Amino acid sequence: MKSKSCRRLEGGQSLVEFALVVPLFLVLFFGIVEFGNAWRKYQLITNGAREGAREAVLPSSSPTTVADRIHERLNGAGLDTTQVELDLRISDVMGTADTVRINYPHQFVLLGPLIDLMCSAAGCDGSAYSTLTLSSTTIMRNE
């Protein structure tokens, strides 16, 4: 049987182990949450690019109607459409391809401050790593 003082020392050891493991666990957990949020936004802009390309191949389409359709789709999904950067290549010639490209910035909300903190300690620019530009391109042929 262990003495009372030995059990107290083991309790301190458990506390130190807990203090070392919890920050790593929290970074892993919030990293999963951030990745899930970035993936959701990527899927939304991909769907927006598809909708824009579908609109672009219609005979009555114009760059304005395509952009309006994309903004309507992204706004309905809850994304800030003022941050959307569109690159539309629309042709009226049959058999040519219409291209819709969407760029959307994703700011890491939970891990951003942690990245900034780690980079400032290492002497690098953390803002370059706390924002990610999500991009999706859809190409459809006029028929």
- Residue-wise pLDDT for 33-71, tens only, equals 888 988 999 999 999 999 999 999 888 888 999 999 999
- Residue-wise pLDDT for 1-23, tens only, equals 565 655 555 667 888 888 889 98
Please say whether the beta carbons of 105 and 74 come within 8 A: no
How distant, in Å, are the alpha carbons of 9, 53, 76, 85, 99 from that of 45?
55, 12, 12, 11, 14
- Residue-wise pLDDT for 86-140, tens only, equals 999 888 777 788 899 999 998 776 666 776 677 777 777 656 666 778 899 999 9
Q: Is the pLDDT of residue 143 over 80?
A: no
Q: What residue spans define the domains of the chain? A: 4-141
